[in-house]
A and B are shown apart, each in its own frame.
Chain A
Amino acid sequence: MGLQLLKEESLFAAEFSEFIRNRCANEPTWLRILREKSFAEFEQIGFPTVKEEDWKYTNVAPIAKTTFRPAWTDRETRLEAGDFSSLIYDESRDSSLVFINGVFQPEFFNASRLSQIVVMSFTEALTSSPHAPLIREHFERYGGAGENGFTRLNAALSDGVFVLIPANVNLDAPLELLFVTDHEQGSPLAVFPRVLIMGEENSSATIIESYASRSNGQYFTDAIIDFVVADGASFQHYKLQRESTAAFHIADTRVSVRAGAKYETATINLGAALSRHDIAVTFEEEGGECAVDGLYMISANQHSDTHSMIDHRQPHCTSHQLYKGVLDGRSHAVFNGKVFVRHGAQQTNAQQTNKNLLLSDEARVDTKPQLEIFADDVKCAHGAAVGQLDQDELFYLESRGINPGLARNLLTYGFAEEVIEKIKIDSIKRELDAVVLNRLHSGLEIA
């Protein structure tokens, strides 16, 4: 660890002391101790470097070198509902939670369609709700091996929200978590979103996790979103990352899947200068099912890294992964898909596919499937592909009067559609269709 890195962390240290003093006064002691432990670990290990296998292709030095101001010190949020209402999807207009600069804003909480579920800040949940032991157990479960400087920094500095979908509740409106970053002046912000979503037995819900910015500035999102999907419960989760193209986006999704539970997710990565998404799904009990899909579409000098980890700890679980990438300009994508089948996890069915479309000679992708199988009665398959637009397909479209730019977009759309069509929310689908189709050509609609 270099001297410079140490210096940056010292800076966070001053912010951390202030955070503990001013923001955590009402928190239980165990949480303060956990924050201090996490921060001490962060100071010790720092941000990951390319010398670590998991970060080999993603250099986060630009984050380490920038002086960020943790957003909770930025008290002057002048945003009004009208400033971000267009970012909320129609389907979740009455079921949305807004976070500005990583901090939950109860005044913008539109919960008219969320009466069946519990939504409260961690502070509130830990001090005055019966859910405190559950949350504590969850918090203390993480930490230690498998974590990195980003998750520890988040654990130290985040102030998040607890969501509980009670047993047998089928949430009919999608729950949207909208994270908006907004700042006008001063040094760039670091924001620390954190949400824990628990679905009790046989509940079901759709969750939209959406990141957007109101400015094109530089900032740093360091997010942790955890899911616990109890026996027989079923979650659909869409993560939409449309950060400013100057931003850094580091996010962890951690999912615990219980007996016979189902978790389906699609992650759409469009924004950020540098983004990294770690998604880990753990089958804790038998008969779980997950579909982990994603699309990253980047250009210019964008960098997008996805690390997925499906941990088959128990028998009779099924996992499907389909990740597609569209890369233009000098962009760089990384996909690392790990499937771990433990001893005794018989009758596991694990499929993984990663396909990449390079639209430019200068774009680059590093894709690596990683299967580690310690059971003998399993069905596992993986495949990775990198290709370019097919010249015959392009000619075919052009020969029908479609100009070359539009033909390229149409083929790109066709490529990306396989992931987009998995999203069951129409307004998200329409937005993505438009984004893909208008990549090189404006004013085009498709229906």
Chain B
Amino acid sequence: MLEIRNLYASVDGNEILKGIDLKVNRGEVHAIMGPNGSGKSTLAKVLAGHPQYEVTAGEVIYDGKNLLEMSPDERAREGVFMAFQYPIEVPGVSNAQFLRLAYNEKQKHLGEEELDPLEFKDLLKEKAKIVEMDASFMTRSVNEGFSGGEKKRNEILQMAVLDPKLSVLDETDSGLDIDALRIVAEGVNKLHSPEKAVILVTHYQRLLNYIVPDFVHVLSAGRIVKEGGKELALELEEKGYDWLKNGDGKAAAGLKRSA
């Protein structure tokens, strides 16, 4: 479904990603872990098409198409979704309005039926159950005055409504208490299917207790330095990232090969 080849990206002239290779198949859950500043979030934003991030080399093939040539909105309509680490507040636009617009834009793109406000309300009601969100959130402005946990749940609600093929969750666990983490993780699990793929970007292993990855990739200084199965996350939890960071380039490369 997704193939990233030798991806280099920079922001404001600083090179952050230095040659990423990653392959994600349908039905798989991949975790991207790594210390702060390793480039995890940059990778997520590059996949979503954030205009501040410039791809300087490499390619990303999504569903047989060149993802990097698509605008952010095209990517979304084609089924790529990024849950933001810091969801943006959009004053004056209600959650329901926003979600229906986004939903209908996608339906239009796919040549499928658009929903009027009443029909959409029913759909939204169903989807809101997945993240245990109250109806009052639908009439409130997008994310405005939401707590950190509510914002993250709202991201997963958007994911539920837009039904993406590839979901990239950027530090969705940060700032969540244990109950919110459980709700968010269960939501993601419910939405997952053999037709879809998920990339979890996270600093901590905690989220992976709830959403069990098939593969774990460890990023350091813009490169994947170690890869493995779900047990790698536990190892990182125990040893910390210094274990990888302190190794010199050769050691890191060696680790990668051994993975």
Which A residues have a C-beta under 8 Å from some C-beta of B?
A: 390-393, 395-404, 406-407, 410-411, 413-418, 444, 446-447
CA distance A414 to B106 in the complex (A): 22
CB distance from B128 to the nearest CB of A (A): 17
**Chain B 135-162 interface 0/1 with A at a Cβ cutoff of 8 Å (1 = within):** 0000001000000000000000010001
Known: A398-B49, A402-B102, A415-B91; 11 extra A-B contacts, CB below 8 A, are A393-B88, A395-B72, A398-B76, A400-B102, A401-B162, A403-B105, A406-B101, A407-B73, A414-B90, A418-B92, A447-B97
Q: Is the CB of B92 within 8 A of A400?
A: no
Whether a CB of chain A sits under 8 angstroms from the CB of B232 is no
CB distance from B78 to the nearest CB of A (A): 9
Q: Is the CB of A401 within 8 A of B93?
A: no
CB distance from B70 to the nearest CB of A (A): 11
Residues of A within 8 A of B73 (CB): 398-404, 407
Can you list 26 A-B pairs with a CB-CB distance of less than 8 A?
A391-B51, A391-B52, A396-B84, A396-B88, A396-B90, A397-B98, A397-B102, A398-B49, A398-B73, A398-B76, A399-B50, A399-B73, A399-B75, A399-B81, A400-B73, A400-B76, A400-B158, A400-B162, A402-B73, A402-B102, A404-B71, A413-B92, A414-B92, A417-B91, A417-B92, A446-B101
Residues of A within 8 A of B102 (CB): 397, 400-402
CA distance A96 to B250 in the complex (A): 83
Residues of B within 8 A of A411 (CB): 90, 93
Q: Is the CB of A447 within 8 A of B90?
A: no
Q: Is the CB of B105 within 8 A of A402?
A: yes
CA distance A400 to B77 in the complex (A): 8
Q: Knowing A396-B88, A414-B93 touch, does A401 contact B71 (C-beta < 8 A)? A: no
Q: Is the CB of A399 within 8 A of B106?
A: no
Q: Knowing A414-B91, A416-B92, A418-B92 touch, does A401 contact B76 (C-beta < 8 A)? A: yes
**Closest B residue to A400 using CB positions:** B102
**Which residues of B, 81-134, contact A by the 8 Å Cβ criterion?**
81-82, 84, 87-88, 90-93, 97-98, 100-102, 105-106, 109, 116-117
Residues of B within 8 A of A444 (CB): 101
Q: Is the CB of A399 within 8 A of B48?
A: yes
CB distance from A259 to the nearest CB of B (A): 36
Residues of B within 8 A of A396 (CB): 84, 87-88, 90
Give the number of residues in B that approach A within 8 Å (Cβ atoms): 33
CA distance A214 to B50 in the complex (A): 45
Q: Knowing A402-B101, A406-B101, A406-B105 touch, does A397 contact B90 (C-beta < 8 A)? A: yes
Most A Cβ at <10 Å: residue of B49, B75, B87, B101: B101
Most B Cβ at <10 Å: residue of A406, A410, A414, A418: A414
Q: Is the CB of A401 within 8 A of B105?
A: yes
CB distance from B113 to the nearest CB of A (A): 16
CB distance from A434 to the nearest CB of B (A): 13
CB distance from A262 to the nearest CB of B (A): 26
Residues of A within 8 A of B76 (CB): 398-402
CB distance from B150 to the nearest CB of A (A): 16
Q: Is the CB of A398 within 8 A of B92?
A: no
Residues of A within 8 A of B98 (CB): 397, 400, 410
Residues of B within 8 A of A399 (CB): 48-50, 72-73, 75-76, 81-82, 84
**Which residues of B, 17-52, contact A by the 8 Å Cβ criterion?**
48-52
CA distance A310 to B229 in the complex (A): 69
CA distance A400 to B48 in the complex (A): 10
Residues of A within 8 A of B91 (CB): 414-415, 417-418
**Closest B residue to A393 using CB positions:** B88
Residues of B within 8 A of A404 (CB): 71, 73
Q: Is the CB of B77 within 8 A of A401?
A: yes
CB distance from A140 to the nearest CB of B (A): 45
Q: Is the CB of A392 within 8 A of B93?
A: no
Residues of A within 8 A of B141 (CB): 414
CA distance A10 to B117 in the complex (A): 59
Most A Cβ at <10 Å: residue of B50, B72, B77, B91: B72
CA distance A148 to B156 in the complex (A): 59
CA distance A86 to B75 in the complex (A): 42
**Closest B residue to A395 using CB positions:** B50
**Closest A residue to B102 using CB positions:** A400
CA distance A418 to B91 in the complex (A): 9
Residues of B within 8 A of A406 (CB): 101, 105
CB distance from A287 to the nearest CB of B (A): 33
CB distance from A326 to the nearest CB of B (A): 12
Residues of B within 8 A of A418 (CB): 91-92
Most B Cβ at <10 Å: residue of A396, A402, A404, A411: A396
Residues of B within 8 A of A390 (CB): 88
Q: Is the CB of A415 within 8 A of B92?
A: yes
CA distance A18 to B92 in the complex (A): 53
Most B Cβ at <10 Å: residue of A392, A398, A407: A398
CA distance A286 to B91 in the complex (A): 36
CB distance from A402 to the nearest CB of B (A): 6
